[in-house]
């Protein structure tokens, strides 16, 4: 994707690649970022060469597997899976999942998914910082009674601040500050879901998405987010229909992102109160490019997703890999349960 200027055309230095990738990290709730393979053992490919400090075989040049190439996390009420995909040399998506309680003791479940902008500098650090900051913000706000929708807004602001701060820091390679660093600063998208107190809250900036898939499949599935993208902008303006817009090569150019070179931060948050049980599918475009419509996403989501969220997340990642795995793939599944009418009554 390319980031677009205010007038809907790319500005100088604003080109953004189609893949947006990031390290996997979270605030003691997701799996921490794994160090890359560094000078240890024999190459897994040729079994003869030594692995250098950059994680490549000195004999055949094969990149060694990194722990974060494929990572999974499961709690009682949420699960997430991330995978490098088949076309990229590393995984640069990030997620954070957690569970906490509200002041009245009722449960709250959190899922954050971030997608680093590949053509930005240090996209892996951007998505990792955003996921960690957003997750930590929600874990602090929800137990003290902040309304879930307000807590989501604050979490996205915290994520943006974390990503912005990267532009003023040297990278992990210790490189000196670039005097033009704000022109192509670390950047990522973000989407998150909170299930708490009978509410389903979603927040986002960019083109990562959340879908609602009801358990009974008797009612339609729904996409809960609207992309910050060129295609969505064209459709909203009535200039193209959806099929025309998404067929255009500019379709996935993003118009909103987190980063020091972003325009005014505009976190989107919405709250729903579903009348039936289901699951929230929170994902990067590495998945939804292979199941774009809500009903298509519902078809590929296993019917027992609410009972087996980790298995179902694995199935969805597998669906994207079977489709070609052109991008990094990250998905979190958050069950939403509505008690049957009359439950708990005498």
> Which of 40-54, 268-282, 313-327 has the least mean pLDDT?
40-54
Q: d(Cα 259, Cα 163) in Å, to the nearest integer?
A: 5
> Which of 41-45, 98-102, 255-259, 306-310 has the least mean pLDDT?
41-45
Per-residue pLDDT at 18 exceeds 80:
no
Contact present, 16 and 251 (Cβ < 8 Å): no
Residue 14 lies in a domain: no
Task: Please tell me which residue, 54 or 253, carries the higher pLDDT value.
Answer: 253
Candidates 104, 87, 114; CA nearest to 33 is 114
Mean pLDDT over each residue of the chain, to the nearest integer: 85
Task: Please tell me which residue, 317 or 52, carries the higher pLDDT value.
Answer: 317
Task: Please tell me which residue, 285 or 40, carries the higher pLDDT value.
Answer: 285
Long-range residue pairs from 167-174, CB within 8 A, at least 24 positions apart, any chain: 167/259, 167/260, 167/261, 168/260, 171/121, 171/122, 171/125, 172/122, 172/125
Per-residue pLDDT at 344 exceeds 60:
no
Per-residue pLDDT at 203 exceeds 80:
yes
Contact present, 302 and 252 (Cβ < 8 Å): no
Residue 3 lies in a domain: no
Residue 238 lies in a domain: yes
What is the span of the domain harbouring residue 236? Answer: 67-336
Residue 208 lies in a domain: yes
Encode pLDDT of 155-197 as tens digits: 999 999 999 999 987 655 454 555 555 568 999 999 999 999 9
> Which of 15-29, 35-49, 220-234, 279-293 has the least mean pLDDT?
15-29
Candidates 230, 146, 158, 235; CA nearest to 192 is 158
Encode pLDDT of 252-282 as tens digits: 899 999 999 998 899 999 999 999 999 999 9
- What pLDDT does residue 16 have? 37
Q: d(Cα 187, Cα 167) in Å, to the nearest integer?
A: 9
Q: d(Cα 177, Cα 332) in Å, to the nearest integer?
A: 35
- What pLDDT does residue 158 have? 98
CATH number at residue 92: 3.60.40.10
In which band, very low, low, confident or very high, does the pLDDT at 35 lie, cut at 50, 70 and 90? very low
Helix H or strand E encompassing 205: strand 199-205
Residue 275 lies in a domain: yes
Residue 234 lies in a domain: yes
Residue 243 lies in a domain: yes
- What pLDDT does residue 230 have? 93
Helical pair 123-141 and 148-166, crossing angle rounded to 10 deg: 150
pTM of the model: 0.82
Residue 341 lies in a domain: no
Per-residue pLDDT at 34 exceeds 90:
no
Count of structural domains, the chain: 1
> Which of 4-13, 130-139, 276-285, 288-297 has the least mean pLDDT?
4-13
- What pLDDT does residue 181 have? 53
């Amino acid at each position: 994707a390319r980031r677009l200027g205010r007038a809907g055309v790319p500005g100088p230095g604003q080109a953004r690649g189609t893949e947006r990738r990031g390290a996997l990290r979270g605030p003691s709730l997701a799996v921490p970022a794994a160090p890359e393979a560094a000078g240890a053992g024999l190459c897994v490919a040729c079994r003869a060469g030594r692995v250098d400090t950059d994680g490549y075989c000195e004999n055949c040049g094969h990149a060694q597997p990194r722990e974060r190439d494929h990572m999974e996390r499961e709690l009682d009420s949420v699960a997430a899976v991330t995978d490098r995909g088949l076309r990229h040399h590393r995984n640069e998506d990030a997620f954070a999942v957690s569970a906490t309680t509200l002041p009245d003791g009722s449960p709250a479940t959190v899922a954050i998914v971030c997608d680093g902008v590949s053509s930005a500098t240090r996209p892996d650090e951007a998505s990792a910082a955003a996921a960690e900051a957003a997750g930590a913000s929600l874990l602090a706000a929800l137990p003290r009674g902040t309304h879930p929708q307000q807590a989501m807004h604050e979490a996205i602001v915290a994520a943006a601040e974390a990503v912005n701060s990267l532009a003023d820091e040297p990278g992990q390679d210790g490189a000196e500050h670039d005097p033009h660093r704000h022109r192509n600063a670390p950047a990522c998208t973000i989407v998150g879901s909170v299930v708490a107190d009978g509410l389903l809250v979603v927040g986002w900036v960019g083109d990562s998405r959340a879908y609602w898939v009801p358990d009974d499949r008797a009612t339609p599935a729904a996409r809960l987010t609207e992309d910050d993208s060129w295609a969505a902008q064209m459709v909203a303006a009535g200039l193209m229909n959806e099929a025309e817009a998404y067929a255009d090569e500019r379709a996935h150019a993003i118009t909103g992102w987190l980063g020091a070179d972003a325009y005014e931060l505009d976190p989107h948050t919405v709250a729903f109160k579903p009348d039936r049980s289901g699951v929230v599918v929170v994902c990067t475009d590495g998945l939804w490019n292979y199941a774009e419509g809500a009903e298509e996403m519902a078809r590929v989501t296993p019917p027992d997703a609410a009972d087996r969220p980790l298995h179902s997340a694995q199935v969805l990642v597998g669906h994207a890999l079977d489709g070609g795995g052109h991008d990094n793939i990250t998905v979190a599944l958050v069950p939403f349960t509505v008690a049957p009418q009359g439950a708990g009554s005498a």
